[in-house]
Amino acid sequence: MIGAGVIGIEYATIFATLGVRVTVVDKRTQLLPFVDEEIIDTLVHLMRQERVTMRLGEGVSGVEVVDGDQGRKVHITLDSGKHINTETVLYSIGRTGATETLNLAAAGVGADDRGRITVNESYQTEAPHIYAVGDVIGFPSLASTSMEQGRLAACHAFGVDAHSFPDLLPYGIYTIPEISVVGKNEQELTEEGTSYEVGHASYREIARGQIVGDQAGLLKLIFDPDSRKLLGVHIIGDGACELIHIGQAVMSLGGTIDYLIDTVFNYPTFAECYKTAAFDGVNRLG
């Protein structure tokens, strides 16, 4: 797998789960740097359990297809001089906007070297009457965010008031296991100089996790120790992309970690992780 972005890692974990020996190559030294490091550490541990080999901080200098007596092989040379022999290469180093045939220049709209169009906060291009949304404007390039961008762009174009939560978009990453996040992670808060505390809940301590056999799942809450407001929710494990919406709703309404302590969750559900993580976080306050 050349490229360890979201798509590359999703496919790497899919094939590894099916029993395929996978090697991941990427110039970056960390997987998915926008995701909380603790969540990524868990993912990397699980990938290595599935015998995935990581070649991070490595560039590819050559790919050669060789036909031999034992069939077709692919020979990959890395910038460091390492060699990888494999049967198949999946190349995934980011999306390119399909804009070459649109003659954007004639409309007064520009695109970068990867075909991505620059827009303002209302999704207007350099030509104010032309809007662009979705993958073609770059990160986060998710179906869910693209739909919301389209709604906001249409409302702006027709002068309709619209409200959204641009800082609380949930990200769903369909690796095995799933990852989903909303809000700030520890790295971002540390760089900002923002004080925070964390609370954890492991799936293995929740009845539902024991029932389904997910021993590695983790839900992590980050909150302000003074106001006790939630600052971020980070999940890896079964159902993470569904489970994240509870935290998203609490954050959107300005809720605190105490709400999760006072709320009763159905048993046995993964949602109970919120209550367990909230207790863990509050107990750290001293």
Would you call 35 helix, strand, or coil by DSSP? coil
pLDDT at 67: 85
Nearest CA-CA partner of 239 in 221, 220, 218 = 218
Q: What percent of the chain stands above pLDDT 70?
A: 100
Residue-range domains of the chain with CATH: 6-86 (3.50.50.60), 100-166 (3.50.50.60), 170-283 (3.30.390.30)
pLDDT band at residue 164, thresholds of 50, 70 and 90?
Answer: confident
Cα–Cα distance between 108 and 113 in angstroms, integer? 16
pLDDT at 176: 96
pLDDT at 166: 80
Would you tell me the crossing angle of helices 37-49 and 6-17 to the nearest 10 degrees? 30
pLDDT at 68: 77
On the question of pLDDT at 94 being above 90, the answer is no
pLDDT at 69: 77
* pLDDT mean over 252-267: 96
What is the number of alpha carbons within 13 Å of residue 286 lying toward its C-beta?
2
Q: Which amino acid is residue 203, in one-letter code?
A: Y
pLDDT at 5: 93
pLDDT at 71: 80
Would you tell me the crossing angle of helices 240-252 and 272-283 to the nearest 10 degrees? 60
Contact 231, 224 (CB under 8 A): yes
